[in-house]
């Protein structure tokens, strides 16, 4: 049987839930590192199945990943994601501090240079609305970029020292690199984020990206299969080693 570079947490006729370690790309990239999808394709072929994509997580991100095993489940999950009925929670560690308590980050994203994303407006237009509940980061004025896509993230500070923060994060939209872009533009880039942070800053350097998808919840898929609809992934050891004191 083919070894998978991820842990299977749940499998039924329509759905596979994996716990992916940091450093494993879901799809093949320029690094040449063996990707999860190739291994998964070989693994499932032994049962006459093939993996069908539902969503992705970054190579450096660890945690929960859903994979459909038939077109019906793929369609149902795709519709659930589109409707906002699949909920994802992350834990992250940043180099930088943000106001304590819960914060909504309502900052649209647009394509940037070299496959990066950016906030769809100037940095000095980002405003913290302290009258909102919870407090909300937003762009002042109309968003003029025709390529802008709504991106909403809710964060809560769990622990903080004078340089680093531990956040609990819930995604309300699922844009590419959303958490990484939002936190970087607010001055709190993730530890280990060489794409959006300050890679030459020794206080931001880390052996892995400090982002972990620890909880995933989805609705009833209408396929008659009795399955749990919430799963959790504990923080892995290499993430725990980065926690601020």
Give the pLDDT of the chain (245 residues) as one tens digit per residue: 458 999 999 999 999 999 999 999 999 887 778 899 999 999 999 999 999 999 999 999 999 999 999 999 999 999 999 999 999 999 999 999 999 999 999 999 999 988 899 999 999 999 999 999 999 999 998 888 899 999 999 999 999 999 999 999 999 998 999 999 999 999 999 999 999 988 788 989 999 999 999 999 999 999 999 999 999 999 999 999 999 87
The backbone torsions φ and ψ at residue 97, rounded to the nearest 5 degrees and listed phi first, read: -120, 145
- In terms of CATH architecture, what is 7-86+218-237? 2-Layer Sandwich (3.30)
Cα–Cα distance, 146 to 135 (Å, whole number): 27
Cα–Cα distance, 57 to 87 (Å, whole number): 14
List, by residue number, the catalytic residues. Answer: 58
Identify the bridge partners of residue 155 per DSSP, sorted by sequence position.
103, 169
Domain coordinates in residue numbering, the chain:
7-86+218-237
* pTM across the whole model: 0.94
Q: Of 132, 130, 109, whose CA–CA distance to 121 is shortest?
A: 109
């Amino acid at each position: 049987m083919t070894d998978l570079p991820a842990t299977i947490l749940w499998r039924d006729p329509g759905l596979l839930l994996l716990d992916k370690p940091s450093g494993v790309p879901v799809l093949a990239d320029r690094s040449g590192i063996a990707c999860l999808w190739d291994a998964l394709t070989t693994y499932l072929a032994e049962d006459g199945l093939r993996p069908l994509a539902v969503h992705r997580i970054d190579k450096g991100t660890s945690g929960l990943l859903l994979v459909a095993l038939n077109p019906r489940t793929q369609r149902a999950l795709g519709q659930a994601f589109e409707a906002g009925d699949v909920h994802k929670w992350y834990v992250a560690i940043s180099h930088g501090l943000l106001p304590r308590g819960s914060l909504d980050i309502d900052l649209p994203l647009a394509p940037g240079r070299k496959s990066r994303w950016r906030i769809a407006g100037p940095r000095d237009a980002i405003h913290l609305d302290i009258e909102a509940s919870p407090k909300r980061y937003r762009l002042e004025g109309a968003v003029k970029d025709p390529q802008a896509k709504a991106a909403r993230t809710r964060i809560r500070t769990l622990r903080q020292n004078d340089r680093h923060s531990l956040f609990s994060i819930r995604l309300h939209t699922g844009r590419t690199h959303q958490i990484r872009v939002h936190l970087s533009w607010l001055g709190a880039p993730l530890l280990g984020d060489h794409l959006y942070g300050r890679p030459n800053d020794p206080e931001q350097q880390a052996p892995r990206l400090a982002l972990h998808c620890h909880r995933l919840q989805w609705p009833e898929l209408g396929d008659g299969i009795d399955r749990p609809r919430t799963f959790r992934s504990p923080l892995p050891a290499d993430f725990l080693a980065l926690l601020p004191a």
